[in-house]
Amino acid sequence: MRYFICIFVLLISLNSCVGVLFGAGAAVGGKVFSQDKTFGESISDTTIWTKIRTGFVREKVDGLLGSINIEVSEGRVLLTGFVDNSEDILKILKVVWEQDGVKEVINEINVKNKENDPNVFDYAKDSWTTSQIKTKLLFASEVRSANYSIETVNSVVYIFGIAKDEAELERVKNIASEASGVKKVMSYARVRKMLESRLEDTKGHKPPVAQEQLDIESLEGEVADEDIFETENF
């Protein structure tokens, strides 16, 4: 039985590796032509993703890359996964906000605790859930699957990307919620119709420094509150 489980986990891991190896190439190759993005937008997102990873190495926090996922769509960055402490989240946010072209950061990183600490079987289960959803989207009618990124973390599914319209996004959310083992679906996808009205002169620029600082200060406040709460329990 143990041998079978090990083989299963290995296959799931290999499947994830294949997605990483070929995903980057697809982003700058054939895949961009099937997405509702301009070629320039796709290249820009790939550049931002690369710069973030490079920033992690430069700031010597690249050890965190194995525990978090980074998705980029039109300058919006979605972060998911688990870290050991709140200080790690601050380091991650700092690196991400420093990159040119980042317009918004959606932080869905959780701090590990006794209740949510994932193990190898949780990762395998999440990978299987993600694979199920991606496969169903690929064959779903009226859904352009290349426009969406799907991540599953502790049975919570995160949807990211660009929807053609509200009906398509609703269909994607329904498909995700119907996958086995899913506890919750979080959608951060935006509808294309809304995006078409954005101002051209806002492309490729970070939010004002004040907003960036506000996000960091807000999280620092949460860290302080968390420390106080833990102290009161002793």
Task: Please spell the DSSP secondary structure of 14-39, one letter per residue.
Answer: HHHHHHHHHHHHHHHTGGGGGSSS-H
Among candidates 33, 32, 40, which has minimal Cα distance to 204? 40
Q: Is the pTM above the cut of 0.75?
A: no
Domain count, the chain: 1
Average confidence (pLDDT) per 10 residues, the chain, 234 residues = 44 40 32 47 82 92 86 94 92 94 94 84 93 95 91 95 93 95 95 61 50 47 36 32
* pLDDT at residue 166 in the model: 93
**CB neighbour list of residue 122: distance below 8 Å, 6 or more residues apart:** 154
> From CA 88, how far away is CA 130, in angstroms rounded?
26
* pLDDT at residue 33 in the model: 35
- Burial level of 71, CB count in 10 A (0-12/13-18/19+)? buried
Q: What angle do CA 185, 187, 188 make, to 5 degrees?
A: 150
* pLDDT at residue 43 in the model: 63
| 184: containing domain | 2-233
Two structure tokens written together for 125: 């289960």
- Give the rounded distance of the alpha carbon of 43 from its chain centre: 18
* pLDDT at residue 111 in the model: 93
Q: Phi then psi for 185, rounded to 5 degrees? A: -120, 125
> From CA 162, how far away is CA 194, in angstroms rounded?
10
Query: Can you tell me which residue has the tokens 């949807």?
Result: 159
Among candidates 176, 179, 130, 126, which has minimal Cα distance to 155? 126
